[in-house]
Amino acid sequence: AQRVTQPEKLLSVFKGAPVELKCNYSYSGSPELFWYVQYSRQRLQLLLRHISRESIKGFTADLNKGETSFHLKKPFAQEEDSAMYYCALSGLNTDKLIFGTGTRLQVFP
Amino acid sequence: GAVVSQHPSWVICKSGTSVKIECRSLDFQATTMFWYRQFPKQSLMLMATSNEGSKATYEQGVEKDKFLINHASLTLSTLTVTSAHPEDSSFYICSAVDRGRSQPQHFGDGTRLSIL
């Protein structure tokens, strides 16, 4: 079955602390993995995708095929990082996205 | 950047009425659009894939007669909730695929539907 699991509904940290938002997936084949972010009162937007292997706003995510994980990390959280984060996957030949349940990140001053 | 406009942003109507939600790609052509439903504090659930000039493809468990999708042009897809009832109240979000760009899907702001 195709599934994306985000075990944490809420993650609260203080400013400057490291952050790791967990994402595990189940997919028969080679999926493409994404992280989407939704700031308060804003639309869902792409944060990063595993094929780009880039760092956006200080966030990185490495695809671990052995552990079927795509955890999102940032070494020093900022208050403006507070948002809802969704992990998602798609198959190679499809535009359809399967979303996880999301993790709300709260960064306290 | 690519913009997807969704209208209306919020609608309240009586039970039994039909409600139409529009999804437009403002600066690009979208041969494929997606419609999602999001319950409070839950994830986005894909309802259907809207393809320009052809019938929509619905996900398992989504009533095609309840949720009518029309994708008449490369920039517009509409979702009509027919004979809406309180259980149809939800947040509906559309997205559009711009094949000329690297981002897989561009999302609209969503429409909050409340059925009284």
Q: How far apart are CA A48 and CA A88, in angstroms?
A: 11
Tell me the nearest-neighbour CA distance from A90 into chain B, angstroms. Answer: 9
The radius of gyration of chain B from alpha carbons, rounded to an integer in Å, stands at 13
Instruction: Write out chain B residues lying below 8 Å of A99, CB-based.
Output: 43-44
The Cα-based distances of B90 to A15, A66, B7, B9, B80 in angstroms read 34, 37, 15, 12, 13
Write out pLDDT tens, residues A45-71.
999 988 887 888 999 998 999 999 999
Residues of chain B with pLDDT under 70: 1, 100-103
Nearest chain B alpha carbon to A43? B109
Q: How far apart are CA B69 and CA B92, in angstroms?
A: 13
DSSP structure string for B81-101: ETT--GGG-EEEEEEE--TTS
Instruction: Indicate which of B107, B111, B112 best probes the interface with A, i.e. most A CBs within 10 Å of its own CB.
Output: B107
Instruction: Please provide residue A85's backbone torsions phi and psi, each rounded to the nearest 5 degrees.
Output: -115, 130
Tell which residue, A86, A106, A23, has the closest CA to residue B107.
A86
Q: Which residue has the tokens 């992990």?
A: A87
Query: Which pLDDT value is given to residue B14?
Result: 95
Query: Is B43 close to A101, i.e. CB distance below 8 A?
Result: yes
Interface check for A31 against chain B (CB to CB < 8 A): the answer is no
Instruction: Write out chain B residues lying below 8 Å of A95, CB-based.
Output: 32, 34, 49, 97, 104-105
The reply to whether omega before B8 is within 30° of 0 (cis) is yes
